[in-house]
């Protein structure tokens, strides 16, 4: 008799990063972490083993899901290194900052101190690094674009060696953040499908079902 295969291990990232300028101020983005949180909740309902890496947010812990908090992109990279070998699927829904300040001041910068510019350096491209070493793991990325959505998403899918990319658009009348309805393309190397005005909970289930088919 063949041994029963254990449940899949799913690693999910969610939320923004914060890159500190001084102990008080930081560079961040508008991500709330809601969609990654819903992906984790749905994956647990499907009986997967789930670890959620969660950036700064107001989201409540999900019972029976191990949640590890991170703040900066470097913090997230460290946790990805911890859980990479464990994971079968890696779903990178976090909005990782592309840059961080070259210098983080030890003390709060006072208003009367001269500060004409903040020098930045690029953060490591975590998703691209994962794509280089993923082997037989399933790797999912996200693309949020203000223009040329399909073109940019398809380029990112190829450049970062992803199995699936979730692409949505931001504009003056389209805000993808929070709990509202959303529209997105699911794109893999062979085809794409568009979903319009669906709940994020429903889209989370669609994505996980799509991964099962991969």
**pLDDT of 154 strictly over 50:** yes
**Cα-only R_g, the chain:** 18
Whether 202 is in a domain gets the answer: yes
Per the structure, the count of domains in the chain is 1
**pLDDT of 174 strictly over 90:** no
**pLDDT of 52 strictly over 90:** yes
What is the distance between the alpha carbons of residues 168 and 89, in angstroms, rounded to a whole number?
Answer: 21
Taking every pair of Cα atoms in the chain, the longest distance, rounded to a whole number of angstroms, is 75
Answer for the pair 195, 168: CB distance below 8 angstroms, yes or no.
Answer: no
Helix (H) or strand (E) holding 182: strand 182-187
Whether 145 is in a domain gets the answer: yes
Q: What is the pLDDT of residue 152?
A: 94
CATH assignment at residue 79 = 3.40.50.10300
Whether 2 is in a domain gets the answer: no
Q: What is the pLDDT of residue 4?
A: 39
**181-204 average pLDDT score:** 92
**pLDDT of 3 strictly over 70:** no
Which tokens is 128 given?
């691209």
Average per-residue pLDDT for the chain: 91
Whether 108 is in a domain gets the answer: no
Domain that holds residue 86: 9-102+120-213
Nearest CA to 97 out of 154, 31, 35, 155 is that of 31
Nearest CA to 166 out of 136, 144, 147, 135 is that of 144
Collapsed DSSP state (helix, strand, coil) of residue 75: helix
- pTM value is 0.92
Which tokens is 151 given?
């073109």
**pLDDT of 2 strictly over 70:** no
Q: What is the pLDDT of residue 179?
A: 66
Whether 190 is in a domain gets the answer: yes
Sorting pLDDT into bands at 50, 70 and 90, what band is 31? very high
Answer for the pair 41, 62: CB distance below 8 angstroms, yes or no.
Answer: yes
Whether 109 is in a domain gets the answer: no
Query: pLDDT tens across 78-137, in order?
Result: 999 999 999 999 999 999 999 999 999 999 988 887 777 889 999 999 999 999 999 999
Whether 152 is in a domain gets the answer: yes
Whether 75 is in a domain gets the answer: yes
């Amino acid at each position: 008799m063949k041994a029963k295969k254990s449940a899949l291990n799913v690693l999910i990232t969610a939320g923004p990063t914060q890159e500190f300028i001084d102990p008080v101020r930081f560079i961040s983005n508008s991500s709330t972490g809601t969609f990654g949180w819903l992906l984790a909740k749905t994956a647990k309902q499907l009986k997967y083993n789930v670890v959620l890496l969660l950036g700064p947010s107001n989201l409540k812990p999900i019972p029976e899901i191990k949640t590890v908090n991170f703040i900066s992109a470097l913090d997230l990279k460290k946790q990805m290194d911890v859980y990479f070998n464990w994971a079968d699927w890696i779903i990178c829904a976090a909005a990782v900052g592309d840059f961080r300040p070259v210098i983080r001041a030890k003390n709060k910068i006072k208003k009367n101190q001269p500060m004409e510019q903040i020098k930045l350096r690029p953060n490591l491209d975590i998703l691209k690094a994962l794509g280089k070493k993923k082997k037989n793991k399933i790797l999912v990325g996200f693309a949020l674009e203000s223009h040329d959505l399909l073109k940019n998403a398809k380029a990112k899918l190829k450049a970062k060696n992803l199995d699936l990319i979730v692409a949505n658009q931001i504009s003056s009348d389209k805000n993808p953040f929070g709990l509202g309805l959303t529209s997105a393309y699911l794109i893999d190397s062979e085809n794409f499908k568009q979903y319009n005005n669906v709940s994020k909970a429903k889209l989370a289930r669609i994505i996980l079902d799509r991964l099962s088919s991969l």
